[in-house]
Copies of this chain bind each other. A is one copy, B any other.
Amino acid sequence: MAVQSYTFDGLELECGARLGPVTLAYETWGTLNAAKDNAVLVLHALTGDSHATSLGLPGEEKGWWENIVGPGKAVDTDRWFVICSNVLGGCRGSTGPATPRPDTGKPWGLELPLLGIRDMVAAQDLLVTHLGIPRLAAVIGGSMGGMQALAWLVTRPERLDAAVVLATAARHSPQQIAFHEVGRQAVMADPDWADGAYYEGEVPARGLSVARMVGHITYMSDKSMAQKFGRQRLGHGAKFSFQTDFEVEGYLRYRGDSFVKRFDANSYLYITKAVDDFDAFDPPLKVRPTGQGPRVLVASFISDWLYPVYQGREIAQQCQQAGFATSFAEIESTWGHDAFLLETERLGRLVRGFLERPEERS
């Protein structure tokens, strides 16, 4: 679908500030049924956008979850009315640090208040209401999208039938914070960052590229990197240089450079910070009569060392203890964290089964 946008007055943020007006860019696929009970909200990861799928339409850019969302796919657009919006704080059509301030007409930059995952969800909730949907059949997302799904579950259980929480953690460990902090420091170390006020000059391309390179290492596994690159070398000039040499180096630089073209450095700072600050179970979940409220599916991937299986299991345990009907799956994969994007077959079967056959739930 073409990207649409919804602008609303604003909202109170977790940090206490009020932000408004707020725009969310979003896309939808499929048709909302008469009962308005077939809406599924898809939630993107750190650097994603509203374009989850092209529905396989020729000439349209592929979506980031093309293999999971579409006609006949696990999130079947023939059955579900699927919505995906760019997160609050993002740079792909939604309000974020690159958006002009209403009072000055200049980009917010670092004057944008601190955002949290719960703020992203609050904005999505207003979009869902705007679309005339009283209650979502499901929310589903991986990585930061999984955190948003969890935030929906803990803050708005009455608005959901089900939540699918993939490849994520209820809260970041210090190691996970540390990887994000290195990325932020790389951005902030770039003189072109200029304390976030770079919008009229050069963007901090070198810093943001390094940040993305760190990210990519954490998204893959030791094994998937070994399979993809081994120790293969690119051409090696006669004179030694510190330019790329091993294929893995060329790949990382390529990914870093591409990222810079499509992503705003300040958005990267705000969104990584929101992820680090998130703690799904603080305040703790209220315990409900067993089986009341949304059904929950939590899945982790065994080669995902960024969000290890134990963190998924913890989420499932907390949800179970709070009385939600919860399933937990440990999915075989060598893809590392990227498995939630790439492990189509196994993940697709699991998600489809969970969404379509509630009577068989564990």
User: Nearest B residue to A241 by beta-carbon distance?
Assistant: B110
| Contact among B220, B240, B245, B269 with A175 in the assembled complex (CB-CB below 8 Å) | B220
Given A174-B246, A210-B186: A181 and B222 interface contact (C-beta under 8 Å)? no
- Decide if A217 is an interface residue (CB 8 Å cutoff): yes
Contact A229 B15 (CB under 8 A): no
Question: What's the Cα separation between A273 and B241 when bound, in Å?
Answer: 10
| Contact among B113, B175, B185, B252 with A178 in the assembled complex (CB-CB below 8 Å) | B252
Interface string of A216-230 (1 = CB under 8 A from B): 110011100110111
Contact B226 A210 (CB under 8 A): no
Measured between C-beta atoms, what is the minimum distance from A253 to chain B in Å? 7
Q: Which of A54-62, A73-81, A187-195 has 4 or more CB atoms under 8 Å from chain B?
A: A187-195
Question: What's the Cα separation between A184 and B248 when bound, in Å?
Answer: 14
Give residues 145-202 of A contacting B (CB, 8 Å).
Answer: 171-175, 177-179, 181-182, 184-186, 188-191
- Decide if A114 is an interface residue (CB 8 Å cutoff): yes
Give every chain B residue within 8 A of A177 (Cβ-Cβ): 231, 246, 248-249
Interface size class of A (residues with CB under 8 A): 35 or more
Measured between C-beta atoms, what is the minimum distance from A327 to chain B in Å? 25
Question: What's the Cα separation between A253 and B206 when bound, in Å?
Answer: 19
Question: What's the Cα separation between A113 and B239 when bound, in Å?
Answer: 8
Contact B171 A185 (CB under 8 A): no
Task: State the A residues within 8 Å of B (CB).
Answer: 15, 110, 113-114, 171-175, 177-179, 181-182, 184-186, 188-191, 206-207, 209-210, 213-214, 216-217, 220-222, 225-226, 228-231, 240-242, 245-249, 252-253, 256, 269, 273, 276, 279, 305, 308
